[in-house]
Amino acid sequence: MPSFACYRAGVGKDKKGKKGKKAVKARVPKVKCCESRSKCGRCPLRMLKEGTLPDGYTVKRRKLVRVDGRTFSKKDLSRAA
């Protein structure tokens, strides 16, 4: 007798009532780096290195700035993220 005969046909398939994974919320970077050795998850330096900074933003002298030089608010930053 084959060893696979005791398994049902639907084993390993997703159930219909199962919900999908939740969407990951984009992180909003801090405006200024806290300069700690173990960088936090929202550190602009870390996000720049990982490539997760919002488009149009960069870091200069440990501060988050816009590429075009304009000023921004935290509300603008959360919209961009």
19 lies in some domain:
no
What pLDDT, on the 0 to 100 scale, is given for residue 33? 85
Torsion 56-58-63-66 (CA) sign:
negative
* pLDDT tens digit sequence for 2-55: 665 665 665 555 556 566 666 666 788 889 888 877 878 889 999 999 999 999
**Is residue 65 within 8 Å of 58, Cβ to Cβ?**
yes
Structure tokens that stand for 76 in this block? 């603008």
47 lies in some domain:
yes
Q: What pLDDT band is residue 64 in, cutting at 50, 70 and 90?
A: very high
Strand 57-60 relative to strand 63-66, pairing: antiparallel
Give the HSE-up count for residue 14: Cα atoms under 13 Å, Cβ half-sphere.
6
69 lies in some domain:
yes
Q: Domain residues for 69? A: 29-81
21 lies in some domain:
no
The residue type of 31 is V
What pLDDT, on the 0 to 100 scale, is given for residue 21? 61
With a cut of 90, say whether residue 58 has pLDDT above it: yes
13 lies in some domain:
no
Q: What pLDDT band is residue 61 in, cutting at 50, 70 and 90?
A: very high
Q: How many domains does the chain have?
A: 1
